[in-house]
Amino acid sequence: MKKPKVSFGPTGFPAFAGTMAVERVATGFRWAEGPVYFPAGRYVLFSDIPNNRIMRFSEDDGHLSVYRQPSMNSNGNTIDREGRLITCEHSGRRVTRTELDGSITIIADKYNGKKLNSPNDAVVAADGTIWFCDPAYGIGGYYEGIKADAEQDKKNVYRVDPKSGDIKMVVDDFVEPNGLCFSPDEKKLYICDTGFTDGPDNPSHIRVFDVDLAAGKLSNSKVFAEIPKPSITDGLRCDRDGRLWCSVGWGDPNEDGVRCYTADGDLLGKIHIPETVANLCFGGQQRNRLYICGSSSLYAVYTSAQGAMKP
CA angle 32, 37, 40 (to 5 degrees): 145
pLDDT in the model for residue 139? 96
Backbone angles phi, psi at 154, to 5 degrees: -130, 170
Separation of alpha carbons 7 and 16, rounded Å: 10
Q: Residue 252 has what DSSP assignment?
A: -
| Residue 306: count of CB within 10 angstroms of its CB | 16
Q: What is the DSSP string of 259-309?
A: EEE-TTS-EEEEEE-SS---EEEEESTTS-EEEEEEEEEEEEEE-SS-B--
pLDDT in the model for residue 279? 97
Q: What is the pLDDT along the chain (311 residues), one digit of tens a residue?
A: 544 444 455 567 888 777 778 999 999 999 999 999 999 999 999 999 999 999 999 999 999 999 999 999 999 999 999 999 999 999 999 999 999 999 999 999 999 999 999 999 999 999 999 999 999 999 999 999 999 999 999 999 999 998 899 999 999 999 999 999 999 999 999 999 999 999 999 999 999 999 999 999 999 999 999 999 999 999 999 999 999 999 999 998 899 999 999 999 999 999 999 999 999 999 999 999 999 999 999 999 999 999 997 65
pLDDT in the model for residue 14? 85
Q: What is the DSSP string of 115-160?
A: E-S---EEEE-TTS-EEEE--SGGGSSSSSS------SSSEEEEEE
Separation of alpha carbons 247 and 280, rounded Å: 7
Q: Which of 39, 104, 98, 109 is nearest to 286 (CA)?
A: 39
Handedness of CA 238, 14, 18, 235 (dihedral sign): positive
In single-letter form, the type of residue at position 269 comes to G
